[in-house]
């Protein structure tokens, strides 16, 4: 059995509350589930997430990938002492998505003291791989008194 990666266990309910009034809320990103080593969210393809050619916008895919990867990273650290921020995102758009939902799952490739690297796969409702992303996070120490 794989050892859980979470310092504090994420819950979709808590994550969705935490993301209210943010970009992920505006795009309709919803956290859906987690396992001992992954975190998942989904986003509907609609007027908020498409480009003029009526397919999912690459920027919406990137926002989904960074949202789920960053959220996962922040649950792998002691949040009273540290926080994670994205420092690099690479995403390959492999297939167009036109309707329904896309589902993103983040799994860690590296969980270090100063950096984390996450792989995020985005699939459509049929399980077809739409985009593949790699997100690098920097782990920063919270300033005392904040």
- Which region, left, alpha or beta, applies to residue 54 given φ > 0 means left and ψ of -120 to 50 means alpha? left
In this structure, what token pair is assigned to residue 31?
């956290």
Please identify which of the residues 66, 88, 99, 141 carries the catalytic annotation.
66
Q: What is residue 4's DSSP assignment? A: P
66 is catalytic: yes
8 A C-beta contact, residue 139 and residue 84:
yes
Asked if 106 and 39 touch (Cβ cutoff 8 Å), the reply is yes
Token pair 């393809």 is at which residue?
A: 45
Q: Which residue numbers are catalytic? A: 66
């Amino acid at each position: 059995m794989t050892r859980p990666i979470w310092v504090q266990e994420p819950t979709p309910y808590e994550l969705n509350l935490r993301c209210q009034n943010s970009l992920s809320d505006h795009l309709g990103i919803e956290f859906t589930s987690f396992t001992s080593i992954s975190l998942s969210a989904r986003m509907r393809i609609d007027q908020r997430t498409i480009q003029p050619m009526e397919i999912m916008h690459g920027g919406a895919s990137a926002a989904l990938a960074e949202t789920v990867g960053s959220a996962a990273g922040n649950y792998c650290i002691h949040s009273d002492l540290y926080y994670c921020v994205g420092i690099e995102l690479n995403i390959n758009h492999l297939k167009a998505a036109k309707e329904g939902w896309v589902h993103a799952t983040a799994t860690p490739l590296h969980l270090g003291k100063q950096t984390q690297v996450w792989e995020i796969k985005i699939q459509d409702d049929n399980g077809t791989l739409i985009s593949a992303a790699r997100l690098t996070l920097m782990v920063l120490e919270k300033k005392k008194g904040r």
